[in-house]
Amino acid sequence: MEEKIILLVEDNPDDVTLTERALKKSHILNKLIVAKDGAEALDYIFATGNYSGRDTGIMPEVILLDLKLPKIDGLEVLKRIRSDKRTNILPVVILTSSKEENDLITGYTLGANSYIRKPVNFNQFVEAIRQLGLYWLVLNEAPPVNNRKFNG
Amino acid sequence: MPEFVRKSGIDVIGEIPWGTHFCQFYQTKQDLITTMIPYFQAGLQNNEFCMWITADKLTSEEIRQAMTKAVKGFSAYIKRGQIEIVPYSEWYLEDGSFDGKRVLVAWEEKLKWALKKGYDGLRFASNNSWLPEKDWCSFAKLGEGLNNVIGNYKMIALCAYSLDQCSAPEIIDVIRNHEFALINRSDKLEIYENSRYKNTKTALIESKKELDYLSSFPALNPMQVLEIDMTGKIKYCNDSTQKLFPDMVAKGVMHPYLVGLLEMVRTHAWGKSNYFSRIVEVNGQVHEQVIYFVAAGNTIRIYGHDISEYKQAQDLLQETGNYLNNLLDYANAPIIVWDTHYRISRFNPAFERLTGYKSRQVLGLGLDILFPEHQKIESLHQINRTLSGERWEAVEIPILRIDGQIRTVLWNSANVYDNDGKQIIATIAQGQDITERIIAEEKVNNLNEILKRRASEAEVANKELEAFSYSVSHDLRAPLRSMEGFSQALLEDCSELLSDAGKDYLKRIQSSAELMAQLIDDMLRLSRITRADMTLSKVNMSEIAQSVSTKIKNNFPKRKIKFMIAPDLIVKADKNLLSIALENLFENSVKFTGKVPRAIIEFGITEKNGQKVYYVRDNGVGFDMMYANKLFKPFQRLHTVAEFPGTGIGLASVQRIILRHGGKVWAEGKVGEGAAFYFTLD
């Protein structure tokens, strides 16, 4: 069985650290890949740029996507994921600071599977990450593997 | 009108005029019958009153018999009283003696009576053979007197004398006093004319004919012709007058048609002319009279005609004229009329106001004085087009005022044609001074420009605000998470290295971070209320209040709160925003009734200055009215967080929502006695 990878798209190193800590505290030990901007995230997903040559047969179990990102923002990343048939059914959870109505609506319209606002209170954040992991990595049945194959 | 010339009934005589006085010398009864019967027959048949004074030879009874035989319907004449057969003794004699004067008067009276009865005149015959010799002289005088009387009246007289009884001088006397004499000789009637009367008679008939002809002018005149004397007696009154005023003869000078006439004639200042005219109104008809004073007869002649129709037409014309004049004078619009030579012929007061010229200054002048120099040619060109039949419809022609100011005026014009409708005789134009309107339009345009600019500025500002809130909501919270999260990490990972004070400091950092996060959220919420698009629809506030109260009851299961919500408060508003406002007001009340055992929150409606006012009232801690104005300011609070939690954004949101609906919100309260929040919606 393949390892279940979590792709975290987050530009703020503090948030990366806190997310890692929260995952650890929630005993989620899956491999965490961090992309520091939207371009890097797309490179990883589609095995381009620095990630060219990556085995696209392996896709993240869930993508935790921040919205406000350098280079290519989160909503654009989501749009690209959803418009490519290799990735259009990948679970994407928006994890962001804002609960602006526009962000919520656009996020869901573009096909986000979930939208979570990062709480300021760390304990609440840990709880959120814990439930997230439980749901997407344990409870949720991922889409069939061959569908996620790059050349599939 | 009764004819002047009458039928004598006697063939040898033929026609005779009124006033004919003739005689007959007879010898036998038959002589009398031969003349008298046809004589009276003609009289009866021609509406004359007849009188037969009998004497010698024929008795009244014999006459009646003879007449009945000869005259058809004689008994009817008798019955009607048109003929009287009287013995001489009854007529000529009184107490057996003869008085010529008395008889003369009696004839006059008889004639008057006959005319009054409606007869054309009096015809009589008198047998004078009874006359005794002693009375011959006075009777001859009567004959002369009769001549005068008969000559002037509508009377015809035939006097019969017995030839056998008359001496030659007597015969001469008789013939002298009569116009002609009839004598029966060998059964043949002969006529002996008195040459004096013959000439007079012929002349009379001739002049009478001419008179008839002349009098037919007034008689047949369809206009009214009358003559009255200075005593007011009507001397003449033509047919058309009698037809128009049947009561004219009866009323005489008192008739409304003649009223005041004598006085006018008497007091009129007669200059060279002998006539004047006046207008009288009778029975609603208007008559014009020309009144001549005929000095010769000391009479007044009136020639009148009915001018009612003419007067009506004239009145109508006058009325129309007045109407038009008023229209022009009181019209607010400047109106001008010019003739085919471009000369001003009419200039109404509104035009005076427009130009500053007085009408009398410009009448007759050329139109060009009204045009500014640089526009003159162009404007005259426009005028030219009206005279070739074109009509102006909102043509703009500037007008130069007397003070040099130029007004912008829109013109409509119409041409006035002559009676044939072919030739233009004038042009009338009505203007509308649009100078102020143009200035106002410019102002409006400027305002619109400013408004547009402001709107786009506002749009830019809104976009900036949106970008700002986006940035705030994304970026401002991240550092707070770091502060909070790493403080927690410190507390967890390094707790044994930290003193209690150190741990306390870290907790303070954490709670500050959380408070700031809360403030940021509140700020964003407030700005969202300001930015949100509004969609107005019918909103039932009572229903919203109900659902809010249900939610509150669920959220505070331990609290005892009584909600009193008035039903069916329906307004036109944005449902989302109004829900937020009500939610905030209710939550506010819930919060500040937290310390009373039984909270009562009331939502209702009242009225102030005729406007509907809605309110949310509670029995909570209330507030000091001194700070009432602070209640609605964002982040302003009257209590500490320890007393009542919150950041002070709820009522500020309420105020923004109400203001966005064009309404007003205010609060009333007293410390310890609850608070009431009132609001109106446009």
Domains and CATH numbers, chain A: 5-146 (3.40.50.2300)
**How far is residue A45's CA from residue A39's CA, in Å, rounded to a whole number?**
10
pLDDT band at B94 (very low <50, low <70, confident <90, very high): confident
Residue B499 has pLDDT above 50, yes or no: yes
For residue A152, what pLDDT is reported?
A: 38
| Residues in A touching B469 (Cβ below 8 Å) | 100
Residue A1 has pLDDT above 50, yes or no: no
Lowest mean pLDDT among B527-536, B570-579, B604-613: B527-536
Task: Tell me whether residue B552 is in a domain.
Answer: yes
Task: Tell me whether residue B581 is in a domain.
Answer: yes
Rounded to the nearest angstrom, the minimum Cα separation between B463 and chain A is 13
Handedness of CA B124, B129, B131, B133 (dihedral sign): positive
pLDDT band at B509 (very low <50, low <70, confident <90, very high): very high
Task: Tell me whether residue B445 is in a domain.
Answer: no
Query: How many other β-carbons are positioned within 10 Å of the β-carbon of residue B594?
Result: 16
**How far is residue A25's CA from residue A43's CA, in Å, rounded to a whole number?**
29
Domain match, B523 and B538 both: no
ipTM reported for the complex, 2 dp: 0.82
> What burial letters (b/e) apply to B253-263, b meaning 16+ CB within 10 Å?
bebebbeebbe
| Residues in B touching A15 (Cβ below 8 Å) | 478, 481-482
Question: End of a domain among B245, B277, B311?
Answer: B311
pLDDT band at A151 (very low <50, low <70, confident <90, very high): very low
pLDDT band at B2 (very low <50, low <70, confident <90, very high): very low
What is the mean predicted confidence (pLDDT) over A44-63? Answer: 90
For residue B197, what pLDDT is reported?
A: 66
Question: End of a domain among B528, B553, B568?
Answer: B528
Domain match, B522 and B540 both: no
**How far is residue B52's CA from residue B61's CA, in Å, rounded to a whole number?**
12
Handedness of CA A69, A75, A76, A78 (dihedral sign): positive
Residue B201 has pLDDT above 90, yes or no: no
Domain match, B523 and B539 both: no
- Could you tell me which chain B residue has the CA closest to the CA of A119? B481
- Decide if B484 touches A, using CB distance below 8 A: yes
For residue B393, what pLDDT is reported?
A: 84
Residue B200 has pLDDT above 90, yes or no: no
Of the partner residues A14, A15, A122, the one whose CB lies closest to the CB of residue B488: A122
Domain match, B340 and B426 both: yes
For residue A53, what pLDDT is reported?
A: 87
Q: Which amino acid, one-letter code, is at B406?
A: I
Task: Tell me whether residue B302 is in a domain.
Answer: yes
Residue B1 has pLDDT above 70, yes or no: no
**How far is residue B19's CA from residue B154's CA, in Å, rounded to a whole number?**
6
**How far is residue B131's CA from residue B129's CA, in Å, rounded to a whole number?**
5
Domain match, B201 and B305 both: no
Q: Which of B512, B267, B5, B285 is nearest to B276 (CA)?
A: B267
For residue B71, what pLDDT is reported?
A: 86
**How far is residue B649's CA from residue B655's CA, in Å, rounded to a whole number?**
10
DSSP code at position B283: T
Residue B191 has pLDDT above 90, yes or no: no
**How far is residue A145's CA from residue A86's CA, in Å, rounded to a whole number?**
11
Q: Output the average pLDDT for chain B.
A: 86
Task: Tell me whether residue B213 is in a domain.
Answer: no
Domain match, B537 and B518 both: no
B356: left (phi over 0), alpha (psi -120 to 50) or beta: left
Task: Tell me whether residue B215 is in a domain.
Answer: no
Q: Could you tell me how many residues make up chain A? A: 152
Domain match, B542 and B667 both: yes
Residue B264 has pLDDT above 80, yes or no: yes
For residue B389, what pLDDT is reported?
A: 74
Which domain, by its residues, includes B415?
Answer: 331-433
Number of structural domains in chain B: 5
- Could you tell me which chain B residue has the CA closest to the CA of A66? B474
What percentage of chain B exceeds 90 in pLDDT?
Answer: 28
Q: Is B185 exposed, middle or buried (0-12, 13-18, 19+ CB in 10 A)?
A: exposed
> What burial letters (b/e) apply to B468-482, b meaning 16+ CB within 10 Å?
ebbebbbebbbebbb
What is the mean predicted confidence (pLDDT) over B538-566? Answer: 92
Rounded to the nearest angstrom, the minimum Cα separation between B577 and chain A is 15
The secondary structure of chain A in percent helix, strand, coil, rounded to multiples of 5, reads 45, 15, 40
What percentage of chain B exceeds 70 in pLDDT?
Answer: 98
Domain holding B182: CATH number?
3.40.50.300
What is the mean predicted confidence (pLDDT) over B389-411? Answer: 88
For residue A146, what pLDDT is reported?
A: 52
Contact B601, B587 (CB under 8 A): no
- Decide if A124 touches B, using CB distance below 8 A: no
pLDDT band at B644 (very low <50, low <70, confident <90, very high): confident
Residue A150 has pLDDT above 70, yes or no: no
Domain match, B382 and B477 both: no
Query: How many other β-carbons are positioned within 10 Å of the β-carbon of residue B368?
Result: 14
Domain match, B520 and B469 both: yes
